[in-house]
């Protein structure tokens, strides 16, 4: 055997040294095998039947446009049918989702949208037993549902706390994506406290765990085998996984479970304000060093906020001692507050911090809104390009406004148009001062220094919002 040249030996040694850290790193990665083995039995498959309805794809999913010879076509036709047709085996249709067992006597937790509209709910365990479940209750605001099956001695998921989760922490999901039962996928926590447009009262956990239709309602585990979330939604342009998955924190989910068990419904705290984010421009008009807090755009009549003297233009900085960094932070904090409890708020009002106490009431089934657009006539313009006038008595009655406000008749090119104002808007405040009538609006406008940003509160249709107008320099 020929001796290895010195150069070859050096390269070999370098290769070993280079690879060694990688090998060590791979050994440090988590091993999920025992976690899946121990927790797989607590995860269930959920199917539902709806009489005389065609099967709809799960929420957030659309059947992809596949080539005619693709083997996946048969799969999608079996579960979802042809467009406009009913699946072959369906006088009754079936949708698939996931869930997990939270008590040995048969309570099962899943998403509300998994069982929505079902005539019959079937729960299948990992040992192939199948039960017809009773729907104990649902809470659509959190997208949670509690089921009950007639069984004893079932394996139970260990419930942890989502409050202890850290961004970057490993997590594991087990569920039934596309009906493939007991599928395990892993990833990390990408962010906490995410607010989604349709769910204001849930501070979602964002992960990069592969979640697909059918995973909905399944558990999200930490490395200790504790459930820390309930997989609920995905962000996708195609209907498939794209690295953005959202789970309901288990603390929120278990609060829903306890309320559904004891009361049959879920109660949430209610403050009675419409809020928006504080932008950099708005922060400047309020004299804030940086954008933070929830800006109050509207205080609903006969609400806890109205009773506590919360006002439009107030910036809520903290709630019960917890910082409100953005407007999305506030609704979950209020919603989690017990009805009847007195909460403390710190608000920024005209540059000064004010402490308020408010008695939280129960969130109504339908939150209040007010206002519609009104007709316009011709008047004369002002320095920011607006033509405004006072409201008539009939318009005030229609908009449910007892006093104050001027109507934008029309808008010319200029600062107001650039800020986003429109004809038909109702101006309620200018430079953080109430606008009671046209004369007061003009008086405030005349005092505004050239070149400075000014906050203006407007009502448009049934919502209120602050905008920032950059005053002309001349």
DSSP letters, 70-135, are: -THHHHHHHHH-STTS--TT-SEEEEEEEEEE-STTSEEEEEHHHHTT-SEEEEE-TTS-EEEEEE
Q: What are phi and psi of 18, to 5 degrees?
A: -70, -40
- The answer to whether the Cα torsion of 138, 253, 45, 233 is positive or negative is positive
Instruction: Say what the pLDDT of residue 11 is.
Output: 46
Instruction: Say what the pLDDT of residue 373 is.
Output: 34
- Which residues are known to be catalytic? 113, 143, 216
DSSP H helices in 145-287: 250-262, 280-285
Tokens 């304000």 belong to residue:
273
Instruction: Say what the pLDDT of residue 92 is.
Output: 63
SS3 228: strand
The residues near 223 (Cβ < 8 Å, ≥ 6 apart) are 30, 35, 169, 170, 171, 172
Q: Along the chain (474 residues), what's the average pLDDT of each consecutive run of 10 residues?
A: 48 45 58 94 92 50 54 50 48 76 96 91 93 94 95 95 94 90 93 80 93 91 97 74 88 95 92 90 89 90 93 94 92 92 95 95 66 36 80 70 81 86 87 86 87 88 86 80
The residues near 85 (Cβ < 8 Å, ≥ 6 apart) are 54
Domains, the chain, with CATH or none: 34-63+73-148 (2.40.10.10), 158-262 (2.40.10.10), 269-362 (2.30.42.10), 386-470 (2.30.42.10)
Q: Can you tell me the distance from the alpha carbon of 38 to that of 327, in angstroms, rounded to the nearest whole number?
A: 40
């Amino acid at each position: 055997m020929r001796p290895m040249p010195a150069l070859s030996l050096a390269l070999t040694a370098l290769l070993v040294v280079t690879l060694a850290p990688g090998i060590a790193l791979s050994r440090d990665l988590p091993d999920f095998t025992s976690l899946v083995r121990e927790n797989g039995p607590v995860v269930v498959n959920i199917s539902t039947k709806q009489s005389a309805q065609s099967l709809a794809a799960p929420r957030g999913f659309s059947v992809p446009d596949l080539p005619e010879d693709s083997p996946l076509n048969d799969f999608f036709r079996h579960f979802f049918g042809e467009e406009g047709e009913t699946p072959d085996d369906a006088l009754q249709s079936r949708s698939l989702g996931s869930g997990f067992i939270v008590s040995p006597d048969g309570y099962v937790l899943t998403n509300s949208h998994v069982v929505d509209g079902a005539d019959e709910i079937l729960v299948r365990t990992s040992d192939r037993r199948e039960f017809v479940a009773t729907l104990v209750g649902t809470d659509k605001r959190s997208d949670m549902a509690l089921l009950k099956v007639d069984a004893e001695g079932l394996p139970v998921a260990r419930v942890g706390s989502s409050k202890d989760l850290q961004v970057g922490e490993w997590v594991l999901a087990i569920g039934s994506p596309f009906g493939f039962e007991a599928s395990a996928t892993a990833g990390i926590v990408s962010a906490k406290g995410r607010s989604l447009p349709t769910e204001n009262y849930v501070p979602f956990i964002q992960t990069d765990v592969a979640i697909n239709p059918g995973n909905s309602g399944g558990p999200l585990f930490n490395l200790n085998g504790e459930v820390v979330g309930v997989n609920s939604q995905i962000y996708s342009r195609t209907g498939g996984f794209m690295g953005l998955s959202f789970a309901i924190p288990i603390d929120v989910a278990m609060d829903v479970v306890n309320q559904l068990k004891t009361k049959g419904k879920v109660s949430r705290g209610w403050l009675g304000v419409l809020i928006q984010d504080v932008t950099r421009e708005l922060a400047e008009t309020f004299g804030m060093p940086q954008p933070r807090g929830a800006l109050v755009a509207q205080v609903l009549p006969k609400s806890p906020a109205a009773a506590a003297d919360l006002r439009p233009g107030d910036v809520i900085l903290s709630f019960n001692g917890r910082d409100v960094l953005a407007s999305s932070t506030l609704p979950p904090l209020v919603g989690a507050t017990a009805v009847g409890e007195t909460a403390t708020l710190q608000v920024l009002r005209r540059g000064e911090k004010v402490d308020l106490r408010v008695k939280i009431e129960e969130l109504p089934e339908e939150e209040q809104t007010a206002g519609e657009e009104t007709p316009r006539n011709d008047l004369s313009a002002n320095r920011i390009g607006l033509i405004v006038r006072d409201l008539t008595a009939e318009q005030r009655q229609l908009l449910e406004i007892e006093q104050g406000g001027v109507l934008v008749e029309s808008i010319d090119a200029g600062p107001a148009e650039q800020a986003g104002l429109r004809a038909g808007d109702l101006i309620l405040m200018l430079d953080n001062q109430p606008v009671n009538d046209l004369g007061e609006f003009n008086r405030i406008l005349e005092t505004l220094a050239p070149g400075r940003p000014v906050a203006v509160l407007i009502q448009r249709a049934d919502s209120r919002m602050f905008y920032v107008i950059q005053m002309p320099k001349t």
